[in-house]
Amino acid sequence: MASGVTCRAPSGALLLFALCAGAPAAHAQTSTSAAQAYPVRPIRVIVPFAPGGATDSVMRMVSPRLSEGIGQSVVVENRAGGATTIGMDAVAKSAPDGYTLGVANLSFAVNPVLLAKMPYNTEKDFAPVGLIASVPFVMAVHPSVPASSIKELVALAKVRPGALNYSSSGNGSATQMATELFRYISGIDIVHVPFTGGGPALVSALSGEVSIYCASIPAMAPHFKTGRLRPLAITTVQRDPAMPNLPTMVQAGVPGYEAREWTGIVAAAATPRAVIMRLNQEFVKALGSPELSKRLAAVGAHPVTSTPEEFAAHVQKELAVWSKVIKAANIRIE
């Protein structure tokens, strides 16, 4: 495989982020030459969020390790707005040389269905580098809710359709998507109350204004200890070391459920394959640090590595899952 461009299979179906074989020899030689010299100047990583959030924190923890391994400065640049599309559009339109990277997360797979207009094509305009982190959530309720398990919560919601509500950090946010997936699989009727950030959404759950809230472990763990929130299940397919006694959603009775915030790295489409692989190897090396793992745990994240192909398959799966959920919930942002 010589090129980092997307292509079409013989059937005509788009291969998401495909790394196509059979590129012209001249292009292969150019890619090889570029990779041998890469990198010769600082690398810019665009985070499509304001400073201080979990995704931004993860990248700022990883970037010094990446810089050490790759031998160049790694500059993190925040470009918030447009439900992450402003920052990601800058990546899509950057030179395909590996000097501008983008930080993709769940919004990357949600936006193509959620947003009425997109400035780029998610499936064609990016080359995957790899996953770097995963953030599990906890499904929790206010103690006034008479449910001590997910099964009891589902039963309560079915007896009282539309009576229970949940908060999220905003329309299209990972916290909304995680709860909507629960609603979709369980077939329950609960009402969404969006807020402009995780802080206000958490406050609404603590006050009892809303019944249900789903967010990262560090955000809610202190309130589990004081009894102001009651944890019911972890949203990933495996239990979390931070709360080993808490069942997964599947174990708690929601078959096929898996939701998490994830973080991955992308570059512009047509970035040379050799450059993509060099970046992937350096990210994998950086994420192997035990010290970095401990620092990531402080923001509820776990280091995750993958090949570019595995990351592409992950995005493809996420696109399919969230498309069904968003359409079923009739969620749309104009």
pLDDT tens readout for residues 157-193: 999 999 999 999 998 899 999 999 999 999 999 999 9
Four-residue CA torsion sign, 36, 42, 44, 45? positive
Question: What integer pLDDT is reported at residue 35 of this predicted model?
Answer: 58
Question: What integer pLDDT is reported at residue 18 of this predicted model?
Answer: 42
Every domain range in the chain assigned CATH 3.40.190.150: 7-17+42-134+261-329
pLDDT-derived band of residue 234, with 50, 70 and 90 as boundaries?
very high
Residue 24, pLDDT above cutoff 90: no
* Token pair belonging to 9: 């299979």
Percent of the residues in the chain that have a pLDDT greater than 70, as a whole number: 89
Question: What integer pLDDT is reported at residue 333 of this predicted model?
Answer: 85
Every domain range in the chain assigned CATH 3.40.190.10: 136-234
Q: Over range 284-308, report the average pLDDT.
A: 95
Question: What integer pLDDT is reported at residue 3 of this predicted model?
Answer: 33
DSSP letter for 94, please: S
Residue 8, pLDDT above cutoff 80: no
Higher-pLDDT residue of 256, 1 = 256
Residue 229, pLDDT above cutoff 70: yes
For the ranges 53-57, 61-65, 69-73, 229-233, the lowest mean pLDDT is seen at 53-57
C-alpha–C-alpha distance, residues 106 and 214, integer Å: 15
The one-letter code for the residue type at 327 is: K
Residue 320, pLDDT above cutoff 60: yes
pLDDT-derived band of residue 82, with 50, 70 and 90 as boundaries?
very high
Question: What integer pLDDT is reported at residue 110 of this predicted model?
Answer: 95
Residue 295, pLDDT above cutoff 60: yes
- The structural architecture, per CATH, of the domain 7-17+42-134+261-329 is 3-Layer(aba) Sandwich (3.40)
C-alpha separations of 314 from 1, 275, 287, 317 in Å: 20, 21, 19, 5
Kindly report the pTM of this predicted structure: 0.87
Q: What would the pLDDT profile of 94-130 be if each residue is shown by its tens digit? A: 999 999 999 999 999 999 999 999 999 999 999 999 9
| Class of the domain covering 136-234 | alpha beta
Q: What is the CA radius of gyration of the chain?
A: 21
